């Protein structure tokens, strides 16, 4: 079974699952439904969905565990659904590799819009940009969704990939947190700005030799981040 353009809905409350199912189908997606975490992991591997809509509170294996497990070998975009609206829960979800977060109760139509946005963003990041980007020992190949350092592959989540591509495409240009957030989410008010810091922290741990003393992604105090320019790189 191969349904590369389908959305995997993971939700134990059957009425909510069918509401999401209906709105995603209306938006033109094919859907697959799992009612618990174990089944979700199984279906994610069998069907290779384009996006996973993942509820947090699930029987057997909870959403965070599912997210962690998926992230071991998959870069499928993950949208978390949760009744928890605490900032710390959102940040924890993002630190596990989630790409978006929607708080319950939500409008099914808004959810479908968010899924569409994730779908477009990740597809475009991988295919709209043909040129390879290189900097020092880093090589980013957008079309292949591939990052290597010294020829060794580094695995990135879709959000980390979009952020790195944005920064690396314009070395030296300063991006505010808000600007980076809008690259990640259509409406940034739903997501806290510190999410950008969480993703940048993870990116640095993956690409920098010494994350506390970064060479590639530099902090611009009080504003945001920028990618290093060639000259600085040679000096360091």
What is the binding site for Ca ion (CB under 5 A)? 12, 55, 57
Distance between CA atoms of residues 4 and 59, nearest Å: 26
Q: With respect to Ca ion, which residue has the nearer C-beta, 57 or 61?
A: 57
CB of 13 to Ca ion, least distance (A): 5
CB of 18 to Ca ion, least distance (A): 14
Q: With respect to Ca ion, which residue has the nearer C-beta, 80 or 167?
A: 80
CB of 10 to Ca ion, least distance (A): 9
Q: With respect to Ca ion, which residue has the nearer C-beta, 107 or 236?
A: 107
Q: With respect to Ca ion, which residue has the nearer C-beta, 16 or 139?
A: 16
Closest by CA position to 123, among listed 30, 187, 51, 68? 51
Contact 183, 163 (CB under 8 A): yes
CB of 226 to Ca ion, least distance (A): 40
Task: Name the DSSP class of 5.
Answer: T
Closest by CA position to 29, among listed 16, 40, 20, 37? 20
Contact 224, 183 (CB under 8 A): no
Q: Which residues contact 71 (CB under 8 A, 6 or more apart)?
A: 78, 96, 97, 157
CB of 68 to Ca ion, least distance (A): 17
Q: With respect to Ca ion, which residue has the nearer C-beta, 60 or 194?
A: 60
Establish how many alpha carbons lie within 13 A of residue 174's alpha carbon, considering only the half-sphere containing its beta carbon: 7
């Amino acid at each position: 079974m191969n349904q590369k353009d389908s959305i995997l809905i993971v939700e134990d409350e059957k009425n909510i699952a069918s509401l999401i199912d209906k709105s995603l189908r209306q938006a033109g997606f094919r859907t697959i439904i799992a009612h618990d975490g174990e089944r979700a992991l199984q279906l994610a591997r069998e069907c290779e969905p384009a996006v996973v809509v993942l509820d947090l509170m699930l029987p057997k294996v909870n959403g965070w565990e599912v997210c962690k497990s998926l992230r071991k070998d998959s870069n499928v975009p993950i949208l978390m659904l949760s009744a928890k609206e605490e900032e710390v829960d959102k940040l924890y979800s993002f630190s596990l590799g989630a790409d978006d977060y929607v708080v319950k109760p939500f409008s099914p139509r808004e959810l479908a819009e968010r899924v569409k946005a994730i779908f477009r963003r990740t597809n475009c990041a991988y295919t709209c940009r043909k040129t390879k980007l290189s900097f020092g020992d880093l090589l980013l190949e957008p079309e292949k969704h591939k990052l290597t350092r010294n020829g060794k592959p580094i695995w990135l989540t879709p959000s980390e990939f979009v952020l790195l591509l944005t920064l690396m495409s314009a070395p030296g240009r300063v991006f505010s947190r808000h600007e980076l957030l809008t690259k990640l989410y259509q409406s940034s008010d739903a997501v806290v700005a510190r999410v950008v810091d969480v993703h940048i922290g993870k990116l640095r741990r993956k690409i920098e030799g010494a994350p506390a003393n970064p060479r590639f992604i530099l902090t611009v105090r009080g504003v945001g981040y920028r990618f290093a320019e060639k000259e600085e790189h040679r000096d360091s």
